[in-house]
Chains A and B, each alone.
Chain A
């Protein structure tokens, strides 16, 4: 029962428009820095483009997907209209206006600081103000999700919260708390300098604050994907979800251990001591746990669907799966990319191995494989699954959908595998171009060209995706029926309070963050001599 279709559709459309624009920039960057490009542009254009690509893909696109999908889940799973519709629209407009406010200085070259900010470099204040508006807009969603759950719980005191809603609220809490790190950095450190009220900044402290956001933000991007694995896939292929309780445990684990691990981004940094790097390394290991649990549950759910269709044998059931179904195809491809990306992540987790890949192209390859690959391909699947319910029109280009998904998968592999490889060779990240004539660098040239070809495949796939959606908007009207989520194989007779509420887990989330971040932050805050002069970029001041 989706009543606010326009609200949800607006989120998805804006998300995919932003995604399309950022994808063009990404493909151009891949070409620009490769040996295929004989003529170099002004390198400043490259960094402008990277800033826009990162900000759009990291802050705007997944946030809008999480918000739009979150509203859809609220209405469909709780079977009642969204509470706080006006607030939701306000949040949407804040995100939209914030994105524009941030992108104007970036496109003028006044804030080429990349989406990770990098103080003491400081750009035009409107870039940061725009980003804050996007985050504040999303915080409205963060507030609305638990409110809707609470209202529903009060009306249905004896029923367990539907899994999709439970996971959705978990995602909202996770984002609400993880965004605090970057918010503190922008509001208390960068903005006063950008506005000219202060001229010095502690770059080390800023990096610690940012790491609080930078890692867990990936799990915020990931949550809609996992929700789709658990609550869309089994239904879409005519099966059952293997386990409802394990799904809840996985989402809870993300909420609890996603935050106190961010310092693994700072393994090579001088401003955090070895002890806390060790702590964060251990917790990073723990965050592999929900993913291992998820992979098992999803594969088992697929097996159930296959056996219901007559699939036999220890592995023969894989063939009996409905491979024509785009949701199944997307999930399978997503899990393959998650496998490779996750293995890479376990390598990054240990500071010994990290030393050989830190800030090389390996890292760029790693997060593109996880986010661009495993996560975004499920965003496509979510859109394909939801579209008929949002537009009231059938989405029937199944062949085109499968081509699009395969092309995205292939493109992502062709892009990221060579990227990983040149990273091991030591190729540094974030450079506008390389001197491929240098004998130390020339062995990397072929791989970089291959990545550029992969980028082009991704761009083509992105265009196909938009074509499928636009076709869907123009198809003749047809009633899609009520939007449903998958049903567990064994409906639990009762759900323990701990798996049906968040109080305990939020306390752990905040507590662990304070334990793992409190001391490094406090230590750097009392260290005044590390405030260094800001370096303004772009405009001459």
Chain B
């Protein structure tokens, strides 16, 4: 489904981003998995690449550093000559109740979740805009952006910004054949979730009509649809991937 496509996935070394990188490569894409910790992609990519039609490659930089973003994107462009897909998945999450919101954590969340997303979108869209077939950008939002959640005032605000910038970018970049969509995952079974209190977690799962957490692959498949040619007339949308959650 993605054969011949070159994609960049930020936060691609673990969790949802790792699943996105893997699903894309399984479907034929050359994937540049972005991470900050050097070596974190190679911990699994060397073995993984043996059995797939595509390939996961690593690239290490901080998406909140505009210069680093520019250099990395140029590196991808020079190596592959085109960039067809970008998944802005990298994100930082601190859950703090009102009255206990740390300025440092707030700035970190906006720096990565919002400014980093804009950096990547702005830089990659300049490459895509010069390509005959444009490209597709997927921003990972969150159901908290749409519904809100206790203890997630700042995180939900950053993801709300992601939803808004997705819609505006879609309108501005449509003429260049660049599609911009967002995926809003519900509660997802990542390493972070394994540390949650079992009773509280079960209460939250009880609100999911499908009766289970999302697996990272569930999110990755939705991203694949958005990056693939199956969605060539879809832009400016926010797709909830939450197992029909009642919040």
Real binding pair? no
Residues of A in contact with B (beta carbons under 8 Å apart): none
The interface of chain B, by Cβ under 8 A from chain A, is: none
